[in-house]
């Protein structure tokens, strides 16, 4: 991947409404938290099947679109200062079935669905036979997505030994399952408490639920 200088905005901590919370959870009581919920994708699946779209890249697109709508999920430390990236890109895992290992790839985010899928397809083809953990250096402005398509889980937690000043959120999606009139997909979200609270996770989940429900309108308006 060609190195691209990502744009960002510095946070003025002196005037920031969360400056005390940031200080406590960054230094005094280092803390992350995770939350697992289930999202109804019943309206999404028929649309994907009808149009020949693969589930995983579309879900990556929807999660990335939701993340980029909410400032709390785009924060990082850069040169000793807290910043908000203008845009963040997904690092997502892809399984190599022959070795039962995975690679972490990045497709640069575009709000336009067709452009994002073009980026995704280029990356998929370029690294189809590359078994390295990171076939290319990921961009600074990133967050993480992984998938456990074999398990319908109720809870999932990542245990990161040292997450000091690493504010990029991590999302893990699981095997979806039919329940009454709903098709529920588990999704686990892990964040650093220095930059993100429960209310922010709730807002992001609401956005993602809206996107899954209205996917036909979102995509057909762009292609």
Does 3 map to a domain? no
- Report whether 168 contacts 194 (CB < 8 A): no
Number of domain units in the chain: 1
Residues 6 or more apart whose Cβ sits within 8 Å of residue 117: 57, 61
- The CATH code of the domain that includes 13 is 3.30.559.10
Amino acid 219: pLDDT: 84
What's the whole-number mean pLDDT along residues 198-211? 98
Alpha carbon distance 214, 89 (integer Å): 22
Give the global pTM: 0.95
Does 2 map to a domain? no
Q: Which residues are catalytic?
A: 193
Beta-ladder partners of 147: 173
Residues 6 or more apart whose Cβ sits within 8 Å of residue 125: none
Range of the domain at 193: 8-220
Place of tokens 């899954």: 212
C-alpha distances out from residue 125 to 16, 108, 220, Å: 43, 15, 25
Alpha carbon distance 159, 27 (integer Å): 19
Amino acid 162: pLDDT: 80
pLDDT in tens, 130-187: 999 999 999 999 999 999 999 999 999 988 878 889 999 999 999 999 999 999 999 9
């Amino acid at each position: 991947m060609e190195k691209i200088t990502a744009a960002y905005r510095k946070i003025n901590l002196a005037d920031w409404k969360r400056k005390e919370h940031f200080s406590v959870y960054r230094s005094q009581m280092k803390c992350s938290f995770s939350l697992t919920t289930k999202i109804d994708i019943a309206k999404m699946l028929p649309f994907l099947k009808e149009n020949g779209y693969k589930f995983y890249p579309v879900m990556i697109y929807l999660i990335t679109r939701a993340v980029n709508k909410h400032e709390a999920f785009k924060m990082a430390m850069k040169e000793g200062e807290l910043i908000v990236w203008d845009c963040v890109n997904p690092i997502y895992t892809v399984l190599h079935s022959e070795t039962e290992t995975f690679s972490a790839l990045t497709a640069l985010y575009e709000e336009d669905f067709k452009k994002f899928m073009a980026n995704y397809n280029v990356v998929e083809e370029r690294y189809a036979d590359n078994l390295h953990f990171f076939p290319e250096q990921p961009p600074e402005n990133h967050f993480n997505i992984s998938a456990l398509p074999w398990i319908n889980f109720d809870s999932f937690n990542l245990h990161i030994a040292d997450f000091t000043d690493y504010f990029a959120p991590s999302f893990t999606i699981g095997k979806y399952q039919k329940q009454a009139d709903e098709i529920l997909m588990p999704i686990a979200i892990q964040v650093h408490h220095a930059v993100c609270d429960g209310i922010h996770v709730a807002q992001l989940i609401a956005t993602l639920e809206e996107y899954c429900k209205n996917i036909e309108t979102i995509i057909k308006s762009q292609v």
